Chains A and B, each alone.
Chain A
Amino acid sequence: MSLPVVLESLGGRDVIWEPWFDAILTLVAVTLIMTLLVFFLIWWERKLVGRLQMRLGPMRTGPYGSLQSIADAIKLVAKEDVRPATADRWVFEFAPYFAFVPIFMAFLALPITDDGFVRNIPLGLFYIVAITGLNIVGFVMAGFGSDNKYALLGGVRAGAQLISYEIPLILSLVAVAMVDQTLNLGAMIEAQDEVPYLVLMPMAFVVFLIAGMAELHRQPFDMPVGESEVVGGALVEYSGIRWGIFFLGEYCSVLVISALGAIIFMGGWIWPYSGSDLPRGLELIYQVALFSAKTFFLICAIFWLRATLPRLRIDQLMAYCWKVLLPFTFAQILVNGFVVVYDLPDVFFMLFSGALLAGLAYVTYMSVRRPGSLRSRRLVYARSS
Chain B
Amino acid sequence: MAVQSPPPATTDLEFETLDLTVNVGPQHPATHGVFRMVLTVDGEVVVDCEPYIGYMHRGAEKLCENNDYRQIIGYHDRTEYLGSFNAEHCYVLAVEKLAEIEAPERAEYIRVICAEFQRLASHFMFMGAFGTDIGIFGTAFTYSFREREHIRDLLEEISGDNMMWNYFRVGGLAWDVPDDFEQHVKWLVGQVRQGINDIDGLLSVNEIFLTRTEGISPMTQERAVEWGMSGPMLRATGLQHDIRRAQPYSLYDRFEFEIPVGQNGDAFDRYLVRLLEMEQSCRIIEQAVEQMPKDGPIIADKLPRTLRPAPGEIYMPVESPRGEYGVYIVSKGQGTPWRHRIRSASFSNVMPLREMVKGTFVADAIVILGSTDIVLCEVDR
A→B interface (CB under 8 Å): 49, 52-55, 149-150, 152-153, 157, 219-220, 222-223, 226-231, 306-316, 319-320, 324, 364-365, 367-368, 370, 372, 374, 377-378, 380-381, 384-385
Q: Do B3 and A316 have beta carbons less than 8 Å apart?
A: yes
Residues of B within 8 A of A324 (CB): 1
Q: Do A219 and B22 have beta carbons less than 8 Å apart?
A: no
Q: Do A370 and B214 have beta carbons less than 8 Å apart?
A: yes
With CB as the reference atom, state the residue of chain B lying closest to A377. B263
Residues of A within 8 A of B310 (CB): none
* A365-B208 Cα distance, complex, nearest whole Å: 11
* A229-B30 Cα distance, complex, nearest whole Å: 7
B13 within 8 A of A: no
* B273 CB, min distance to chain A CBs, angstroms: 8
Q: Knowing A368-B211, A385-B261 are in contact, say whether A219-B137 is a contact too (CB < 8 A).
A: yes
* A289-B58 Cα distance, complex, nearest whole Å: 63
Q: Do A312 and B143 have beta carbons less than 8 Å apart?
A: no
With CB as the reference atom, state the residue of chain A lying closest to B202. A308
B20 within 8 A of A: yes
Residues of A within 8 A of B134 (CB): 228, 310-311
Q: Do B208 and A312 have beta carbons less than 8 Å apart?
A: yes
Interface residues of B in 178-219 (CB under 8 A from A): 202, 204-212, 214-215
Of the listed stretches B66-74, B154-162, B331-339, B361-369, chain A binds B361-369
Total A-B Cβ pairs within 8 A:
135
Q: Do B1 and A364 have beta carbons less than 8 Å apart?
A: yes
Q: Knowing A153-B22, A319-B4, A385-B258 are in contact, say whether A313-B137 is a contact too (CB < 8 A).
A: no
Interface residues of B in 1-57 (CB under 8 A from A): 1-4, 6, 20-23, 28-30, 41, 44
Supply 25 A–B pairs (Cβ within 8 Å), ascending by A: A53-B139, A53-B142, A54-B142, A54-B143, A223-B363, A227-B29, A227-B132, A228-B29, A229-B362, A229-B366, A308-B136, A309-B208, A310-B135, A310-B212, A311-B134, A311-B135, A311-B136, A311-B208, A312-B208, A313-B211, A314-B361, A315-B361, A380-B263, A384-B261, A385-B276
Residues of A within 8 A of B215 (CB): 370
* A227-B134 Cα distance, complex, nearest whole Å: 10
Residues of B within 8 A of A55 (CB): 142
Q: Do B4 and A53 have beta carbons less than 8 Å apart?
A: no
Residues of B within 8 A of A372 (CB): 263
* B161 CB, min distance to chain A CBs, angstroms: 26
* A228-B369 Cα distance, complex, nearest whole Å: 11
Q: Do A310 and B208 have beta carbons less than 8 Å apart?
A: yes
User: Contacts A53-B139, A368-B2 given; 18 further ones with Cβ under 8 A?
Assistant: A49-B138, A53-B138, A149-B23, A227-B29, A228-B132, A228-B135, A307-B139, A309-B206, A311-B208, A312-B211, A312-B212, A314-B363, A315-B6, A319-B4, A368-B211, A372-B263, A374-B205, A385-B261
Residues of B within 8 A of A384 (CB): 260-261
Q: Do B259 and A385 have beta carbons less than 8 Å apart?
A: yes
* A385-B206 Cα distance, complex, nearest whole Å: 23
* A50 CB, min distance to chain B CBs, angstroms: 9
Interface residues of B in 138-174 (CB under 8 A from A): 138-139, 141-143, 146
B121 within 8 A of A: no
Q: Knowing A310-B134, A367-B1 are in contact, say whether A315-B276 is a contact too (CB < 8 A).
A: no
Q: Do B30 and A228 have beta carbons less than 8 Å apart?
A: yes
Shortest beta-carbon contacts, A-B, top 4: A311-B135, A53-B142, A228-B30, A385-B260
- Interface size range on B against A: 35 or more
Residues of B within 8 A of A52 (CB): 139
Say what secondary structure dominates the interface of chain B: mixed
* A312-B211 Cα distance, complex, nearest whole Å: 8
* A324 CB, min distance to chain B CBs, angstroms: 7
* A350-B29 Cα distance, complex, nearest whole Å: 47
* A364-B208 Cα distance, complex, nearest whole Å: 11
With CB as the reference atom, state the residue of chain B lying closest to A323. B1
* A228-B141 Cα distance, complex, nearest whole Å: 14
Q: Do A316 and B138 have beta carbons less than 8 Å apart?
A: no
Residues of B within 8 A of A227 (CB): 29, 132, 135
Residues of B within 8 A of A53 (CB): 138-139, 141-143
Q: Knowing A153-B362, A374-B204 are in contact, say whether A226-B135 is a contact too (CB < 8 A).
A: yes
Choice from B2, B6, B142 contacting A370 with Cβ under 8 Å: B2
* A10 CB, min distance to chain B CBs, angstroms: 42
* A380-B204 Cα distance, complex, nearest whole Å: 15
Q: Do A374 and B210 have beta carbons less than 8 Å apart?
A: yes
With CB as the reference atom, state the residue of chain B lying closest to A226. B135
Residues of B within 8 A of A310 (CB): 131, 134-136, 206, 208-209, 212
* A308-B208 Cα distance, complex, nearest whole Å: 11
B359 within 8 A of A: no
Q: Do B272 and A381 have beta carbons less than 8 Å apart?
A: yes
With CB as the reference atom, state the residue of chain B lying closest to A307. B139
Q: Do B364 and A381 have beta carbons less than 8 Å apart?
A: no
Residues of A within 8 A of B272 (CB): 378, 381
With CB as the reference atom, state the residue of chain A lying closest to B146. A54
Most central of A219, A229, A231, A319 by chain B CB within 10 Å: A229
B231 within 8 A of A: no
Q: Do B208 and A220 have beta carbons less than 8 Å apart?
A: yes
With CB as the reference atom, state the residue of chain A lying closest to B238. A384
* A324-B2 Cα distance, complex, nearest whole Å: 11
B133 within 8 A of A: yes
B262 within 8 A of A: yes
* A314-B6 Cα distance, complex, nearest whole Å: 11
Residues of B within 8 A of A374 (CB): 204-205, 210
* A56 CB, min distance to chain B CBs, angstroms: 11
Most central of B23, B146, B211 by chain A CB within 10 Å: B211
Q: Knowing A231-B29, A308-B139, A311-B135 are in contact, say whether A381-B361 is a contact too (CB < 8 A).
A: no
With CB as the reference atom, state the residue of chain B lying closest to A373. B210
* A157-B260 Cα distance, complex, nearest whole Å: 39
Q: Do A368 and B143 have beta carbons less than 8 Å apart?
A: no
Q: Do B363 and A229 have beta carbons less than 8 Å apart?
A: yes
* A219-B206 Cα distance, complex, nearest whole Å: 14
* A128 CB, min distance to chain B CBs, angstroms: 28
* A146 CB, min distance to chain B CBs, angstroms: 14
With CB as the reference atom, state the residue of chain B lying closest to A232. B29
With CB as the reference atom, state the residue of chain A lying closest to B131. A310
* A154-B244 Cα distance, complex, nearest whole Å: 45
* A385-B257 Cα distance, complex, nearest whole Å: 9
With CB as the reference atom, state the residue of chain A lying closest to B2. A367
Q: Do A228 and B137 have beta carbons less than 8 Å apart?
A: no
* A370-B209 Cα distance, complex, nearest whole Å: 14
* A231-B29 Cα distance, complex, nearest whole Å: 7
* A308-B361 Cα distance, complex, nearest whole Å: 23
Residues of B within 8 A of A367 (CB): 1-2
With CB as the reference atom, state the residue of chain A lying closest to B198. A54
